[in-house]
Amino acid sequence: MSGVLFANSAAAAPVTEHWTGESPYFYRTSAPGGTVGVVSMNGPDDGRALQLRLGARPGTGPGNGVEISSNEATYRYGTYGTRIRTADCTGQGRLGVVTGTFTYSTDHSDGNGNGLPDNDEIDIEVLCAQPHVVWLTIWTDYDGSVAPGQPIPVRKISRAIDMRTGKVLHNCYMVRLGGDCQPELPGENSPASVTPVPGFDSSTQFRTFMFDWQPDSVTFWGYDDSGRRNVLWDYRGPASRIPDKPSAFMQNVWHTNEWDPLDGPAREQPQTAVSAYVDSTTLPR
């Protein structure tokens, strides 16, 4: 299918961008040597997608990546989605390249009063070295001002799912980046498993990912190969762990040298360009 389903019937009519020309809803930024532009390709019904092309040997961090962002950073509760083929690193080893779909607030004041800068963000991410694993993260705080080598205080909860088997590999609330998981609370780890999608590889197949953000819940889902809704995470833990600030809706491709996935480090820099392709993307009006 070209486009994605907007699943929140209580919301206003959605906006779905199909990249027919200059977008009235999103702007594009390019890294040095990277590009963002519409290309013709197989996969989308209309034969057209937005290419997020990260050039060879990029700098580290999202600021050196390629991205699209909604023109407005005023979006809040509602349903968001994308149909995307994530970056393909075949033949380049264990690359630290991330394809992300997320909401993000640039207001880092301490609105929740816990002594840390707010980092309101809801992420769907795929690491190039693990195209069968989907990472889902809900952030509320991040303090990067600590001295080098010191633990970075955060407030985030993440879930990682092997989509081929439906197994939940990781469901963890952290207060230090890379630290131990905090004791699990009710509503944080559901469902216990998801419907397997045999042969799942988000770098070779267009896949639809959605999330619904509400004051007391964040629900992520995709679709199995029969087109049935496949709930990946239905977070209903403490509402204080859910973002509440107006945000932009964004998608990006970038290099990290700090990610240690569950099957070993994946930090290498791409030596040739890698690309993700966005068929369409949907955000609340």
Report residue 33's pLDDT band, with 50, 70 and 90 as the boundaries: confident
Say whether pLDDT at 8 is over 60.
no
Q: Which pLDDT belongs to residue 285? A: 73
- Return contacts of 169-178, CB within 8 angstroms, 24+ apart: 169/133, 169/262, 170/262, 173/237, 173/241, 176/151, 176/152, 177/142, 177/151, 177/152, 177/153, 178/151, 178/260
CB 263 within 8 A of CB 210: no
Query: Which residue blocks in the chain are alpha helix, DSSP H?
Result: none
**Could you report the per-residue pLDDT of 133-179, keeping only the tens digit for each?**
999 999 999 999 999 889 999 999 999 999 999 999 999 999 999 89
Give mean pLDDT, residues 94-117. Answer: 96
User: What residue type is assigned to position 151 of the chain?
Assistant: P
Say whether pLDDT at 224 is over 80.
yes
Instruction: Compare 6 and 188 and report the one with higher pLDDT.
Output: 188
Say whether pLDDT at 79 is over 80.
yes
Report residue 259's pLDDT band, with 50, 70 and 90 as the boundaries: confident
CATH number of 14-56+64-98+110-284: 2.60.120.200
- Give Cα separations from 60 to 172, 179, 201, 264 (angstroms): 25, 22, 25, 19
Say whether pLDDT at 250 is over 80.
yes
Tell me the percentage of the chain whose pLDDT exceeds 90: 86
How crowded is the C-beta side of 167, counted as CA atoms within 13 Å? 6
CA-nearest of 111, 106, 103, 117 to 146 is: 117
Q: What residue segments make up the domains of the chain, in order of their start?
A: 14-56+64-98+110-284
Instruction: Give the mean pLDDT of the chain.
Output: 93
Report residue 10's pLDDT band, with 50, 70 and 90 as the boundaries: very low
